[in-house]
């Protein structure tokens, strides 16, 4: 009986195990089949916002404490002598009341100069906008006509210069043959000793008297030989040309004749030096030898040749210079004609758009300079930052003050928060800017204040420069106590009704900035969103759009160019998966928080 019970028990447990295994296989097979029929796909999901007009607010933040006292040191922003002090101790003053005035002659002059510069730029702009008047057109036309006439006159002068140049060549070749013949006779003639040229005959007379006699004789002969070769070639070129030859030929002939005349002049000089040496040696010889009569004749001839050659040389040089000057004048005349032609065309066409834009920019620059000058001038007037009583005035008329001088102390029921800003942030902060204050002790309390003072001199700590900014505010009760921690958000710039997108939507690639746009998203979906952002999905490629940005605010960035409004820009990408279900050829995709998108094809 016991054996039968054990057998029955084994049979039951065996069937239980089989049932569990079968159930597991069925369950696994079901999930496997479900996975095959219902695959999981990933479709990108994006947090998108509409490019729309909004208000862009830029601010800086800092932390600090509530001031321990209700008194406030009033310090000037400029340095100089106190010229006016209209208040006294104990006097009650309103916000903006004048406390003292510093000598502002230089600052006032800068304002006047900036105003005059702006007025001048505006007048120049108005002139550019006006069409050319009849007198200006007439003057431009006359200037162009005069430039053309000047060129014509110069062309006539150049023709005359060429004619005069050829005349100079002709006169030169009337003189040079006689000079060359005379030189040849003086050096190579036989009037002194038969069978020996004059040059050698003269040399023999002084060879023992002058050690350099041979050098002088050789110099005279060589320079004559060189001049003779140039003269023969030049003379042939001259005979082949005429007054009506091409200008380039006459140019070349003038230059050639100039060079030839220079060589002949050198030959005359060297020959004269040689004969002067002979005359000196013979006149001073101890043996009583006298210079021959022909020597005096030759020296006289050389004196004449020198004058003749120098005159021809000067005439040729004048001809060269005249032609060159007239050619340069024609070139300048062409430039003048081109310039005046362009000027007349501009007058007739009206103002160049680029010139107009440039002058408009100049006006803007002068306006900014005037604003800067006026702001600098305002620094010479010290005013009460808020209502209060002047508890102490530490200066008097005639004293010199600086930004570190506490000129007066004002007592006020207004509380003061002192916060610290770095040198980058403080450059954007100015007096009277609005500020929002929050307190660690009162998480639900937010107060509005305004900047009352910005330190002109920072404090350096471990190489970092920090500046103290004082913000005045009205405390609703005495719960806000001195020494409490405070956080301040100072609004430095506000731009209203401008196209803007969330800061995270603007991306950078190199120097360019761009946004990514989700195509085929209806802008009306943003109407139901509380913060202007919704979640959307798409398997389409994002479109990249290059943009130009303006003010970068705390949450939004101004878009100057690149968007027209209504675009769905991507703020960030949200990764998520969806399960697709296929029923009768129709696929539906369920996305978390978006609902169901249906279509006739399986999502890619």
Q: What is the CATH number of the domain that holds 400?
A: 2.40.30.170
- Distance set, CA 233 to CA 215, 244, 245, 407 (Å): 28, 20, 18, 98
pLDDT given at position 149: 95
Residue 375 lies in a domain: no
Backbone angles phi, psi at 493, to 5 degrees: -160, 140
pLDDT-based confidence at 585, cuts 50/70/90? Answer: very low
Residue 71 lies in a domain: yes
**Residues ≥6 apart with Cβ < 8 Å to 576:** 42, 43, 45, 591, 592
Eight-state DSSP code of residue 523: G
pLDDT-based confidence at 38, cuts 50/70/90? Answer: low
Pairwise pLDDT comparison (600 vs 577), residue with the higher score = 577
Q: How many domains does the chain have?
A: 4
Same domain? For 516 and 590 the reply is yes
Same domain? For 185 and 302 the reply is yes
Same domain? For 290 and 435 the reply is no
User: Taken in order 454, 460, 465, 466, is the CA torsion positive or negative?
Assistant: negative
Same domain? For 579 and 467 the reply is no
Distance CA 124, CA 599 (A): 66
Give the start-end residues of each E strand in 92-241. Answer: 92-93, 98-102
Sheet holding 595-599, edge to edge: 40-42, 577-583, 586-591, 595-599
Asked if 33 contacts 556 with a C-beta cutoff of 8 angstroms, the reply is: no
Residue 311 lies in a domain: yes
Same domain? For 330 and 309 the reply is yes
Average pLDDT (408-420) is: 84
Residue 355 lies in a domain: no
Average pLDDT (218-227) is: 96
Residue 217 lies in a domain: yes
Same domain? For 446 and 585 the reply is no
Same domain? For 335 and 459 the reply is no
Distance CA 406, CA 76 (A): 8
Pairwise pLDDT comparison (30 vs 320), residue with the higher score = 320
Q: Which of 468, 363, 353, 346 is nearest to 416 (CA)?
A: 468
Residue ending a domain, choose from 464, 497, 530: 497
Pairwise pLDDT comparison (565 vs 249), residue with the higher score = 249
Same domain? For 81 and 164 the reply is no
Rounded mean pLDDT of the chain? 83
Which residue range forms the structural domain that includes residue 405? 54-101+391-497
Distance CA 486, CA 523 (A): 41
β-bridge partners, 500: 52, 558
Q: Which of 74, 78, 72, 99 is nearest to 400 (CA)?
A: 78
Q: Measure CA of the first residue to CA of the last residue in the chain; give whole Å.
A: 68
Average pLDDT (449-455) is: 87
Residue 485 lies in a domain: yes
Same domain? For 209 and 319 the reply is yes
């Amino acid at each position: 009986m016991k054996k039968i019970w054990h057998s029955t028990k084994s049979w039951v447990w065996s069937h239980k195990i089989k049932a569990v295994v079968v159930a597991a296989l069925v369950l696994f097979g079901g999930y496997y089949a479900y996975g095959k029929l219902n695959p999981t796909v990933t479709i990108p999901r994006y947090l998108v916002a509409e490019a729309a007009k909004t208000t862009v607010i830029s601010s800086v933040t800092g932390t600090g404490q509530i001031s321990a006292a209700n008194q406030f040191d009033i310090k000037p922003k400029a340095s100089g002598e106190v010229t006016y002090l209209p208040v006294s101790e104990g006097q009650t003053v309103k916000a903006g009341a004048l406390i003292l005035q510093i000598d502002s002659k230089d600052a006032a002059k800068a304002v006047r100069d900036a105003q005059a510069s702006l007025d001048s730029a505006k007048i120049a702009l108005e002139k550019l906008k006006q069409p050319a008047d009849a007198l200006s057109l007439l003057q431009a036309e006359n200037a162009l006509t005069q430039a053309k006439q000047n060129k014509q006159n110069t062309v006539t002068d150049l023709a005359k210069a060429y004619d005069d140049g050829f005349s100079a060549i002709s006169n030169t070749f009337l003189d040079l043959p006689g000079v060359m013949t005379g030189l040849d006779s003086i050096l190579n003639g036989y009037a002194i000793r038969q069978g020996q040229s004059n040059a050698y005959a003269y040399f023999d007379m002084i060879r023992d008297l002058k050690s350099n006699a041979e050098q002088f004789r050789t110099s005279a002969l060589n320079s004559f030989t060189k001049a003779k070769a140039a003269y023969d070639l030049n003379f042939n070129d001259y005979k082949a040309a005429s007054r009506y030859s091409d200008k380039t030929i006459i140019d070349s002939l003038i230059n050639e004749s100039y060079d030839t005349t220079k060589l002949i002049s050198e030959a005359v000089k060297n020959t004269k030096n040689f004969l002067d040496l002979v005359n000196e040696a013979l006149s001073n010889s101890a043996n009583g030898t006298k210079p021959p009569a022909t020597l005096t004749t030759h020296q006289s001839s050389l004196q004449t040749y020198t004058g003749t050659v120098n005159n021809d040389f000067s005439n040729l040089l004048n001809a060269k210079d005249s032609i060159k000057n007239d050619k340069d004048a024609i070139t300048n005349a062409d430039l003048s004609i081109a310039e005046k032609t362009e000027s007349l065309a501009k007058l007739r066409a009206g103002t160049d758009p680029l010139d107009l834009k440039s002058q408009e920019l100049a006006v803007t620059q002068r306006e900014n300079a005037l604003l800067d000058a006026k702001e600098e001038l305002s620094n010479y007037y010290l005013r009460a930052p808020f209502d209060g009583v002047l508890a102490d005035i530490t200066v008097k008329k005639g004293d010199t003050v600086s930004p570190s001088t506490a000129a007066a102390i004002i007592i006020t029921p207004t509380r003061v928060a002192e916060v610290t800003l770095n040198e980058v942030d403080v450059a954007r902060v100015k007096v009277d800017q609005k500020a929002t204050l929050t307190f660690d002790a009162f998480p639900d309390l937010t107060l509005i204040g305004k900047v009352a003072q910005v330190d002109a001199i920072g404090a350096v700590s471990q190489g970092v420069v920090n500046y103290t900014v004082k913000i005045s505010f009205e405390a609703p009760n005495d719960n806000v106590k001195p020494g409490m921690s405070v956080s301040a958000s100072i609004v430095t710039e506000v731009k209203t009704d401008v196209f803007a997108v969330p800061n995270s939507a603007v991306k950078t690639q190199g120097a360019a900035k761009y946004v990514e746009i989700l195509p085929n998203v209806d802008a009306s979906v943003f109407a139901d969103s509380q913060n202007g952002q919704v979640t959307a999905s798409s398997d389409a490629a994002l479109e990249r759009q290059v943009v130009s940005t303006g003010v970068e605010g705390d949450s939004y960035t101004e878009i100057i160019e690149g968007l027209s409004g209504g675009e769905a820009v991507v703020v960030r990408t949200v990764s998520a998966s969806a399960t697709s279900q296929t029923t009768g050829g129709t696929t539906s995709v369920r996305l978390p928080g978006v609902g169901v998108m249906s279509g006739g094809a399986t999502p890619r």
